[in-house]
Structure 1
Amino acid sequence: MTEQLSKLRMAALNIDGVLLNDTFSPVIHQFVTSRGGTYSAGLERRIFSQPRVVAGRVLADTCGLSTSPMETIALYLEERERYLADHPVRILDGAEELLRRLRALGLRTVCYGGLDASHFDRYLGHLAGLFDEPRYVCTNDIRPGLYEIAVDVAGLACDEVLFVDDVARVAEAARELGAPFVGLPSDFEHGHQRQLMAEAGARHLVGSLDEIDDRLLRTIDAEAQAGTLWERAAGKAGA
């Protein structure tokens, strides 16, 4: 029988970019640059893991559009649908294996993201049995939503929930809450998330889901138990 973890009680996995391939940042890049805007790390910071109304406002301002935030998001989603025709949504390699690994260690597991639950049902519904209730949490209105997922949804302390995400803003929120975090930054060639995660002090950055193995999970569990998850980040901030 697998030895259970000491501190961690749940894993919360972002849907797009972690369990599913990244079909958002390439379209944002195309949307911005095709309209004469500048794509940068700062722009990613202002858009990624933000509520739609915020992201829409930033996109409109960046591209010099007169459309409202939600009209801008509608334009963006139209472009994403065209992008998906040649770059369909798919489950990332190792996703099912990771879910089984987490459950074998005794962790409750949920998924979260900015789209509604139909997105989860469509692409991960066949794996629903590997998630615990409520299975999927829509975070659009509470982004980044870490506190709400840990405390309000799961009834746990923030340092008992491991978050796996592809966005540095989530790493920053995890640091503020003292929550465990693993970053899986997109390999999109124009992306800046790996750099931004490192700047945020995230120490556990992986290039694939297979890297989130028993050894890494037990290391993070030990750090959570010892209260040393973000020691380097705290030291850097205090320097």
Structure 2
Amino acid sequence: MADKLKQLKLAAVNIDGVLLNDTFSPVIHNFIVSRGGEYTADVERSIFSQPQLVGGQGMANAARVPWTAQEAIDVYFKEREEYTRDHPVELLDGAIDLLRRLRGLGLRTVSYGGLDKSHFDHFLGEHADLFDEPGYVCTNDFRPGLREITTEVFGLKYDEVLFIDDVARVAEVAKALDIPFIGHPSSFEHSFQPQLMRESGARHIVDSLHSIDEELLRTLDTEAAAHSVWHG
């Protein structure tokens, strides 16, 4: 049995884009360009990992439609429902193995994201035993939620939690708080997240969950103890 990690106590793993496939970026991109808008890195910044109404306003602005934030969100979710009929939501390759690996190294695990817990229950409920209470944290009211998950939900210090996320804005907040971070940006062809995540200064970026192996996790553990995750 592997020796437990020494510094890290919790792994907080984003749901959509890390544990589940990215069914958001393609819909957001189509929402904007199909209405004559321009899809840019700044547009992604205004939408991704934002509260729903903020993201909705960002989409409406980018698409140049005179809709309220709620109207844009309503249309977006209808279009996403249509998209997922042909591109179903599913677990990413390596997701369950990753959770087992994290727990095998002694970490507690929790998932988080902007949708309510029913989303987690539907797609990950059968794997609930791989998560610690509360299992899932809806961060819509306090996105991106790193501070709240770390200090309020789990009562931990910033150097005791590893966040794994697909959005550069989360990386930027992790850097500001000196929180250990692994990036898993979207592979969607029009996504700016890989570029933005590199620009954030994230040092650990992977394109496969299998790359988050024991060696990388032990490296993060050592760096977290030395406060060198972002400044090594």
TM-score tier (shorter): over 0.9
Moved over 3 A (4+): none
TM-score normalised by structure 2 residue count: 0.99
Give the aligned residue type for 2:34.
S
1:58 paired residue number: 58
Deviation at 1:62, TM superposition (A): 1.5
Mapping 1:1-239, distance limit 5 Å: 1-231=1-231
User: What residue ranges of structure 2 are gaps of 5+ in the alignment?
Assistant: none
Give the aligned residue type for 2:63.
C
Q: State the percentage of identical aligned residues.
A: 62
In the TM superposition, what whole-angstrom CA distance separates every residue of 1:51-100 from its partner, at most 9, and x where no partner exists?
A: 01101111111212222101110000000011011000000011111111
In the TM superposition, what whole-angstrom CA distance separates every residue of 1:162-211 from its partner, at most 9, and x where no partner exists?
A: 00000000000000111000000111000010110110000000011100
Q: Distance in 1 between matches of 2:221 and 2:209?
A: 17
Give the aligned residue type for 2:192.
H
Q: Distance in 1 between matches of 2:96 and 2:64?
A: 42
Give the aligned residue type for 2:153.
V
Give the aligned residue type for 2:31.
F
Aligned length: 232
2:216 is paired with a residue whose SS is helix
- Which one is further off, 84-93 or 54-63? 54-63
Deviation at 1:42, TM superposition (A): 1.0
Give the aligned residue type for 2:133.
E
Deviation at 1:30, TM superposition (A): 0.3
1:162 is paired with a residue whose SS is strand
RMSD: 0.7
Give the aligned residue type for 2:171.
A
1:236 paired residue number: none
Give the aligned residue type for 1:14.
N
Give the aligned residue type for 2:221.
D
